[in-house]
Chain A
């Protein structure tokens, strides 16, 4: 089992829709998580950090469920510009300061 797993999608949704991605992790000792977005042929950019139960920033909400070991990302009122790949990342619980990257979920928002 991969340490961080995501549904690869693609998710195709109309503009204005609400879409949710789930990400599961296997290391129960992981302390912090991040969501990044990556546009085609670009570098990943930080969308949100999740250190406790969740975080909200405008149309984006992340929730962390430690009991079930998953993190979700909810996008409300989807825009065309939200089309991208969304990467779920967990901080390794050890001292080596590595991040464990999911393979990403592809989102296409259609007009």
Chain B
């Protein structure tokens, strides 16, 4: 089955630690996205990538980094510079044209 896989489902970060969230898709989509969602809030775009080896900052990129070395993969690193990382992180991908985005089932990140 085609889809988007995020891992882990739950993640805990210690002070001063970088953590990496995985996102893999087998939908052959060019574009991939990372969003953050806080409780009771909407989706906020962190980073997105339209093509391999290229990515752009979204609205809240500070304290995060990404890479796009393969079409299928778009990992997100939450760095120690992100002082309030506790949130629900959603990865999405999108095909060509005016297509909707498809989501993985998310990673919940908390601070220890």
Binding site for B on A (CB under 8 A): 31-32, 34, 36, 41-46, 49, 51, 87, 89, 91, 96-99, 101-104
Q: Does B48 contact A (CB under 8 A)?
A: yes
12 A-B pairs in the complex with CB atoms less than 8 angstroms apart: A34-B100, A42-B105, A43-B104, A43-B106, A45-B103, A46-B100, A51-B98, A87-B43, A89-B100, A91-B98, A97-B48, A99-B101
Q: Does B31 contact A (CB under 8 A)?
A: yes
Are B105 and A43 closer than 8 Å at their CB atoms?
Answer: yes
Are A96 and B43 closer than 8 Å at their CB atoms?
Answer: no
How many chain B residues touch A (CB < 8 A): the figure is 20
Q: Does B19 contact A (CB under 8 A)?
A: no
Are B42 and A97 closer than 8 Å at their CB atoms?
Answer: no
CB-CB nearest in chain A for B90:
A43
Contact among A31, A41, A49, A104 for B100, CB-based, below 8 A: A49
Q: Which of A31, A87, A98 has the most CB of B within 10 A?
A: A98
Are A46 and B48 closer than 8 Å at their CB atoms?
Answer: no
With a cutoff of 8 Å between Cβ atoms, the chain B residues found around residue A51 in the complex are 98
How far is A93 from B50 in the complex, measured between Cα atoms in Å? 15
How far is A46 from B103 in the complex, measured between Cα atoms in Å? 9
With a cutoff of 8 Å between Cβ atoms, the chain B residues found around residue A98 in the complex are 45, 48, 58
How far is A85 from B41 in the complex, measured between Cα atoms in Å? 11
